[in-house]
Chain A
Amino acid sequence: MRHYPTPRLWCVRIVLSLTLGLLLSGISQAEERFIILQSTTSTQNSGLFDAILPRFQTQTGIEVRVVAVGTGQALKNARNGDGDLLLVHAKPEEEAFVAEGWGVKRYDVMSNDFVIVGSADDPAGIAGMQEAGAVLRKIAQIQGAFISRGDESGTHKKERALWKIAAVDPLKASGTWYREAGAGMGATLNTAVGMRAYTLTDRGTWLSFRNKADYTILVEGDPKLFNQYGVILVNPAKHPHVKADLGQQFIDWLVGPEGQSLIAGYTIAGQPLFFPNAPGG
């Protein structure tokens, strides 16, 4: 046996024990009581989860881990089984998700509305207009800068529906006055403010957004700007590892009186961000 200098030995030992310890610590994490909720950036950025989830955890001991991505990605992740629940805002896609068997059942949870925001100088002169389709048509006419989410999110899907009503195909102008950010709601708002462009946002994100500069809500109130959120349990028949019991417990709480009143009670500067509208709540 040769005797190697001792420093090498302890180096090796430290590295090995560190590695082992870390791997074990990662594995032990998988045993806690938690569920993963695939949700949207708009909901997360609004601060709603921070306001209501701690209460649920205190009551039930269940931790809700929120992964905030665009609605499109959230649906895709849930299809892959990377989540127990889905809380998004794109009703047709949600219904398709359930119809294809990926989800158990869809529950209405709450609603708010979309608004069109822009700078104070409002080059297209849309402030105060009532009809969203007409607004977009006007922006297209003067080729006013408009930032789209461009990320298959619920907001993006809503925006495209509105362009259809306006009978304008903005994609022909993509890269000129119509710009697709490919980003979350907050990042898109930052971009819009930076470029002095109009954009469509949900009211919740807008109210909690801190970098408004001289931006204000220019258009609101059109029933077509209605924004419905739904919650769905991922189907354990498709993904057996889904924690159906814990997930259903959360859904029952969220659409029940307690969750609904917490949603109603969440305000910023006295303004409610979401309006609970679960049938049973």
Chain B
Amino acid sequence: MQDFGQAFTLAFQLIVSADPTLSEIILLSLRVSLSAVTIASVIGLSIGATVGILRFPGRGALIVFLNALMGLPPVVVGLLVYMTLSHAGPLGWLHLLYSPTAMIVAQTILVTPIIASLSRQVIEDLYREYREQFLSLGVPPKTAVAALLWDARYSLLTVALAGFGRAVAEVGAVIIVGGNIKHVTRVMTTAIALETSKGDLALALALGLILILIALSVNTTVSLLRLSASNSAYA
């Protein structure tokens, strides 16, 4: 297939020419997915820390439930958010359907279980190590949670990255609640889906290559951050 070579050339051309439509799509992808991950981190870390530290009845079942939610199909989430935000739905009066905000909401729902579940594991492991020392020192619960989150910050950053990877790569949810509207809600994945359906496989693949580049650069940034940190105060 000559499409592969063509795709690489096209991807290169698109990047070099700094195509304004493409930059718009990339920026929207980043804005939507980073926002979703930020919000999901606030919610997910709270859940992860609570479940990781506290022991309560039904905890095991909750962990299994959270783990299962990690596999939520994006289309289902998209459908649920569509039905909620639709003008005929309960939150229709917010007029959020077909907006980036709706896409952020959908991706937040997708990513929160991932962050909650993985951070629960990270925090639980760290807490097992710190528990007796904290008890001995008389660390109050709020301080203990803050210390665990802070000391696990780089592992938790990796958790957030996993969430970002899921968010930026999914198409099923954002295409339903965003509508893939040009200049408004078109992101990398929905643009790829559109070009594929137009049969322009080379362009679709070129966009895919650029998406991989974006994911790669976000991951590299975080890795460098982590590396420089482990050279200073973290080990």
A contacts B directly in the complex (CB < 8 Å)?
A: yes
Contact A5 B150 (CB under 8 A): yes
* B66 on the A face (CB < 8 A): no
**Min distance, Cβ B204 to any Cβ of chain A, angstroms:** 10
User: Which residue of B100, B143, B182, B184 contacts A4 across the interface (Cβ within 8 Å)?
Assistant: B143
Residue with the greatest number of chain A CB neighbours at <10 A, chosen from B88, B89, B149, B180: B88
Who on chain A is nearest to B185 by CB?
Answer: A65
Residue with the greatest number of chain B CB neighbours at <10 A, chosen from A15, A34, A36, A65: A65
Q: Which residues of B contact A209 (CB under 8 A)?
A: 198-199
* B98 on the A face (CB < 8 A): yes
Contact B99 A26 (CB under 8 A): yes
Contact with B along A1-43 (1 / 0, CB 8 A): 0101101100000010011001101110110001010000100
Question: A81-B92, A211-B201 known; A186 and B98 CB under 8 Å?
Answer: no
Contact with B along A171-188 (1 / 0, CB 8 A): 000000000000111110
Contact B180 A67 (CB under 8 A): yes
Q: Which residues of B contact A2 (CB under 8 A)?
A: 143
Complexed CA–CA distance, A262 and B87 (Å) = 33
Contact A82 B86 (CB under 8 A): yes
* B171 on the A face (CB < 8 A): no
User: Which residue of B86, B143, B201 contacts A80 across the interface (Cβ within 8 Å)?
Assistant: B86
* A137 on the B face (CB < 8 A): no
> Using a Cβ–Cβ cut-off of 8 Å, how many residues does chain A contribute to the interface with B?
47
* A45 on the B face (CB < 8 A): yes
> Using a Cβ–Cβ cut-off of 8 Å, how many residues does chain B contribute to the interface with A?
36
Complexed CA–CA distance, A183 and B89 (Å) = 25
Contact A23 B101 (CB under 8 A): yes
Contact B39 A186 (CB under 8 A): no
Q: Which residues of B contact A48 (CB under 8 A)?
A: none
Residue with the greatest number of chain B CB neighbours at <10 A, chosen from A34, A211, A241: A211
Question: A190-B196, A211-B201 known; A67 and B98 CB under 8 Å?
Answer: yes
* B41 on the A face (CB < 8 A): yes
Contact B150 A239 (CB under 8 A): no
**Min distance, Cβ B34 to any Cβ of chain A, angstroms:** 9
Within residues 67 to 94 of chain A, which ones have a CB less than 8 A from any CB in chain B?
A: 67-68, 77, 79-82
* B35 on the A face (CB < 8 A): yes
* A208 on the B face (CB < 8 A): yes
Who on chain B is nearest to A209 by CB?
Answer: B199
Complexed CA–CA distance, A133 and B197 (Å) = 27
Q: Which residues of A contact B184 (CB under 8 A)?
A: 34, 63, 65
**Min distance, Cβ A172 to any Cβ of chain B, angstroms:** 29
* A66 on the B face (CB < 8 A): yes
* A50 on the B face (CB < 8 A): yes
Q: Which residues of A contact B179 (CB under 8 A)?
A: 36, 65-68
User: Which residue of B87, B98, B201 contacts A210 across the interface (Cβ within 8 Å)?
Assistant: B201
Contact with A along B74-118 (1 / 0, CB 8 A): 000000000000111100100111111100100000000000000
Contact B95 A186 (CB under 8 A): no
Complexed CA–CA distance, A4 and B144 (Å) = 11
* A212 on the B face (CB < 8 A): yes
* A189 on the B face (CB < 8 A): yes
Complexed CA–CA distance, A183 and B179 (Å) = 15
Contact A66 B197 (CB under 8 A): no
Contact A186 B196 (CB under 8 A): yes
Contact A50 B96 (CB under 8 A): no
User: Which residue of B89, B92, B101, B200 contacts A27 across the interface (Cβ within 8 Å)?
Assistant: B101
**Min distance, Cβ A85 to any Cβ of chain B, angstroms:** 13
Contact A211 B200 (CB under 8 A): yes
Who on chain B is nearest to A41 by CB?
Answer: B197
Contact B35 A190 (CB under 8 A): no
* B218 on the A face (CB < 8 A): no
Q: Which residues of B contact A211 (CB under 8 A)?
A: 199-201
Using a CB–CB cutoff of 8 Å, the interface residues on chain A facing chain B are: 2, 4-5, 7-8, 15, 18-19, 22-23, 25-27, 29-30, 34, 36, 41, 44-45, 47, 49-50, 63, 65-68, 77, 79-82, 183-187, 189-190, 208-212, 239, 241
Cβ-closest 6 pairs across A and B:
A26-B101, A186-B197, A81-B87, A211-B199, A67-B179, A80-B88
23 contacts between A and B (CB under 8 A): A2-B143, A4-B146, A7-B150, A8-B149, A15-B38, A15-B41, A22-B38, A26-B104, A29-B99, A30-B95, A45-B198, A63-B183, A65-B98, A65-B179, A65-B181, A65-B184, A67-B179, A77-B86, A183-B197, A185-B197, A186-B198, A190-B196, A210-B198
User: Given known contacts A34-B184, A81-B88, what 12 new A-B pairs fall within 8 Å (CB)?
Assistant: A25-B101, A26-B104, A29-B100, A30-B96, A65-B179, A79-B88, A80-B88, A81-B87, A186-B197, A190-B197, A211-B199, A239-B87
